[in-house]
Structure 1
Amino acid sequence: MSKPHVNYALDPKPIGIGGQAEVFRARDKQSNQFVAFKRLLPNLRMDKDATARMKREIDVQFGIKHPNIMPILDYSEHYYWYTMPLAEQSLMDMPNPIEYLQILQIIEEIASGLEFAHKFGNIHRDITPRNILECKSADGNTRWVISDWGLVRRIGNTSAIRTSPGYQYGTEGFAAPESGLDAHFVDARADVYSLGRVVAWCMSGILPLQNIPLNPDGPLQDFILRTTKLYPHERIANMNDILKMIKELKNTTI
């Protein structure tokens, strides 16, 4: 790990910019392979909270080995940057509405990755179409992976990173309502909620409004309603139950 930054040739312009980091396509000069290179924005590299979040993101994402979680290939010893496989596209790049069986397959893969992460106490807190990426495997097949673990909450971990009660963590329209009350107390049901909102977007192409109940129709209406209840105790409880529900939906289409 921790090759010097000079071992990567970055494209002149980023392929994505967020609130704390930017992502470039880059060529690994040693392997001559293209990767995605994510680094903190220049003005945040001396910010203790920003670097602590990047460290947490790297620690969690590097530590979780699952085919539906974006792997980290390399990272800086100062946690300013890391590399990962270059994705084919994000879910946000796909035209809507997405075909029903394809939605089931994508959500099954993402739920599988989240179930694994939840077993180790990691709550993503920012499941959105932009953070669900399509990657090509070594055998040429594609799979969907969860990326951008910058807002991950590690249950049972006392963090020194500052959070503000009343501040909405996550992406507007997809973040669970409780994440705006006290982000330290969200659990797996927050990711359940966000995944349900992603399914609604896949069906309609309409970005949901924050905390506004959905009024879906179509074959995934029940799934969306059961995952996006306003109160956590009214929702489907975990990813295992979601996987069971998806299996039942697949069986009814055979």
Structure 2
Amino acid sequence: MLRIRLERYQALHDGLRWRSVTMVIGGGLATVVGTFGLVVGILLLVVPSDDAFPWRAGLVVGLFIGLFPFVAGIALVWRGIERRVRLGKFRELVAFGGSRTSFEAADLVATLQLSPRDAHLLVVDAVSHGLVFDDGGPSPPAAPSFRFQPETTPMLPLGRSVASGHAPTQLGGAAAASLPGPGAPPPAMRTAAAASPEAWIGTVLNDTYIVDTLLGTGGMGAVYAARNRRTGRRYAIKTLLHDARLEPDAIKRFEREATAASAIGHPNIIGVHDFNETRDGVHYMVMDLLDGETLEQRLSKVGAMSWREARARGLELTSALAAAHARGLLHRDLKPANVFLARSPDAAGRSVDRAVLLDFGLVKQMDDANVSRITATGAAVGTPMYMPPEQARGEQVDVRSDVYGLGAVLYEMVTGTPPFFDRTLASVYAKLLTTQAPPASSLSRRPLPPAFDHLLACALAKTPAERFATMPAFARALASIEPTESRAAG
């Protein structure tokens, strides 16, 4: 399996960029000198003269001051352009492989739209520059794809609200020693469950939900597919351990995730149907079980979306966020991992995607005093690659902070990379606070409408006053681009 050396990328990037610029400039000067020498040499050759000296001088000047420098200059310009193209390929390779534990050359074929031969040559080139190395390990198993099925029957009393699509949390500790209710595992199995999330499969939560399969694990719990033992209806259940390792406010965040937006009732916000705690202190929430994958998983496969698809998903997300804002709620953690692409058949029986907003664990009421991204311990929470500058500084946030987060997600949809990407979090924070993101059209492999660059520049502005004032204003600007420009841009 192949791995990326992120610590090597910046030096390699700077070196290749400097050499490419030097070669293009040097080659251009040599081409100009060579052109001048060719002209002088030709003039000396064609000027009538009884003396042989002008003819000999013309031949020497034409060859050594004209032709040779001209050919060398063209070769240098070509090599400089080649290095610039190589730098772009390395940037795409780092964006693709930097967020993965490991990958194979075959994974680059579909994601970077390369032929198998070009993918192999790119890996060989990256290895020769020390950017990629082979750890000799086996191929990892495929990441699980969450399956959520939309509800078609009445919801439980909690109603339709928000839920988490975070990489769920890993179970561990004494809190997972047992589960109450009929069908609970024997003591030996309950002991294993403390260390293994898979051991929960087959157990029953509070005499109601039978845990069927493990969908995914994370740092503080897990997400399972489960069914109601009385109705047979299937759900997704997210668990959170009552563990001493958790922050003091972790359970409060979990409860807030389950209840804060329960009154929104929006088709692009996942529904939460129950929230409870077992007698052993295991908190869990019961959510819609949908069929599909997260936007993060989709982008890891395809690299980037078409403009039309990104626009459609973006309009769905602006609608969801506008509904949350109308209830006085800020999401504060927008990123591809928190957007689920639910698959369902349309009227013609074709499978279509629907963006569903996940994870309101960081949701805040807008009228909370000094709403910020700083916890009681003084630590900033969230994801810096999608975090607006004011949140990174711990300042007060409002709806325009969600505008920035959605702008960053849209940016990655069409480019395959976040607005700010670097090898260390410190570098990401530095770019986030001091530099402007490059235009999406400069990174996208497909042509984009010119107005799309302007829209993202507005959404990703450093100061909130320069952004769209509301989510509906963002939606109107996004929708207005489509009629003529999207057809021209593809």
Q: Same fold (TM over 0.5)?
A: yes
Note the C-alpha offset of 1:114: 0.2
* Equivalent of 1:180 in 368, 373, 392: 392
Supply the distance in 2 between the matched residues of 1:16 and 1:134 (Cα, whole angstroms).
19
Q: Which amino acid is 1:82 matched to?
A: M
* SS of residue paired to 1:15: strand
* SS of residue paired to 1:179: helix
* SS of residue paired to 1:66: coil
Q: Does the CA contact (< 8 Å) of 1:127 and 1:195 recur in 2?
A: yes
Q: Does the CA contact (< 8 Å) of 2:214 and 2:222 recur in 1?
A: no
Query: Which residue of the partner structure matches residue 148 of structure 1?
Result: 359
How many residue pairs get matched?
250
Query: Which one scores higher on RCO, CA 8 angstroms, separation ≥ 6?
Result: 1
Q: Which amino acid is 1:65 matched to?
A: G
Distance 1:181 1:236, change over 3 A: same
* Equivalent of 1:80 in 277, 283, 286: 283
* TM-score, structure 2 normalization: 0.46
Supply the distance in 1 between the matched residues of 2:304 and 2:215 (Cα, whole angstroms).
28
Q: Which has the larger radius of gyration?
A: 2
Structure 2: runs of 5+ lacking an equivalent: 1-155, 159-203, 422-427, 442-447
Q: Which amino acid is 1:69 matched to?
A: I
Supply the distance in 2 between the matched residues of 1:178 and 1:45 (Cα, whole angstroms).
29
Query: Which residue of the partner structure matches residue 195 of structure 1?
Result: 406
Deviations 1:199-219 (A, max 9, x none): 111112123334153102133
Note the C-alpha offset of 1:81: 1.2
* Equivalent of 1:135 in 307, 331, 342: 342
Deviations 1:216-237 (A, max 9, x none): 2133322211101111111122
Supply the distance in 2 between the matched residues of 1:42 and 1:12 (Cα, whole angstroms).
22
Supply the distance in 1 between the matched residues of 2:413 and 2:216 (Cα, whole angstroms).
23
Q: Does the CA contact (< 8 Å) of 2:214 and 2:223 recur in 1?
A: no
Deviations 1:18-63 (A, max 9, x none): x554322223323323321112134269865112111211112322
Are residues 1:206 and 2:417 paired?
yes
| The 10-residue stretch of structure 1 (222-231 or 22-31) with the greater mean CA deviation from structure 2 | 22-31
Are residues 1:118 and 2:341 paired?
no
Note the C-alpha offset of 1:178: 1.2
Supply the distance in 1 between the matched residues of 2:212 and 2:362 (Cα, whole angstroms).
27
Q: Which amino acid is 1:214 matched to?
A: A
Supply the distance in 2 between the matched residues of 1:233 and 1:44 (Cα, whole angstroms).
42
Deviations 1:227-250 (A, max 9, x none): 011111111222111111122112
Supply the distance in 2 between the matched residues of 1:142 and 1:16 (Cα, whole angstroms).
25
Q: Which amino acid is 2:390 matched to?
A: E
Q: Does the CA contact (< 8 Å) of 1:4 and 1:76 recur in 2?
A: no
Supply the distance in 2 between the matched residues of 1:181 and 1:166 (Cα, whole angstroms).
11
Q: Which amino acid is 2:464 matched to?
A: P
* TM-score, structure 1 normalization: 0.86
* SS of residue paired to 2:342: strand
Q: Which amino acid is 1:7 matched to?
A: T
Distance 1:166 1:233, change over 3 A: farther
Q: Does the CA contact (< 8 Å) of 1:57 and 1:150 recur in 2?
A: yes
Deviations 1:76-133 (A, max 9, x none): 1689211111231111121221011010000000000001110111000001111111
Percent identity over the alignment? 28
Note the C-alpha offset of 1:156: 1.7
Q: Does the CA contact (< 8 Å) of 1:167 and 1:181 recur in 2?
A: no
Note the C-alpha offset of 1:143: 2.0
Q: Does the CA contact (< 8 Å) of 1:35 and 1:85 recur in 2?
A: yes
Q: Which amino acid is 1:177 matched to?
A: P
Supply the distance in 2 between the matched residues of 1:202 and 1:145 (Cα, whole angstroms).
15
| The 10-residue stretch of structure 1 (149-158 or 123-132) with the greater mean CA deviation from structure 2 | 149-158
Two-structure CA RMSD over aligned residues (Å)? 2.9
User: Counterparts of 1:216-231 in structure 2 under 5 Å?
Assistant: 216-217=440-441, 218-219=448-449, 220-231=452-463
Q: Does the CA contact (< 8 Å) of 2:210 and 2:227 recur in 1?
A: yes
Distance 1:56 1:138, change over 3 A: farther
Q: Does the CA contact (< 8 Å) of 2:217 and 2:223 recur in 1?
A: yes
Supply the distance in 2 between the matched residues of 1:46 and 1:192 (Cα, whole angstroms).
30
Distance 1:32 1:190, change over 3 A: same
Supply the distance in 1 between the matched residues of 2:410 and 2:295 (Cα, whole angstroms).
11
Are residues 1:49 and 2:261 paired?
no
Supply the distance in 1 between the matched residues of 2:205 and 2:310 (Cα, whole angstroms).
40
Deviations 1:128-150 (A, max 9, x none): 11111123569786421111000
Q: Does the CA contact (< 8 Å) of 2:384 and 2:392 recur in 1?
A: no
Distance 1:176 1:122, change over 3 A: same
| The 10-residue stretch of structure 1 (51-60 or 130-139) with the greater mean CA deviation from structure 2 | 130-139
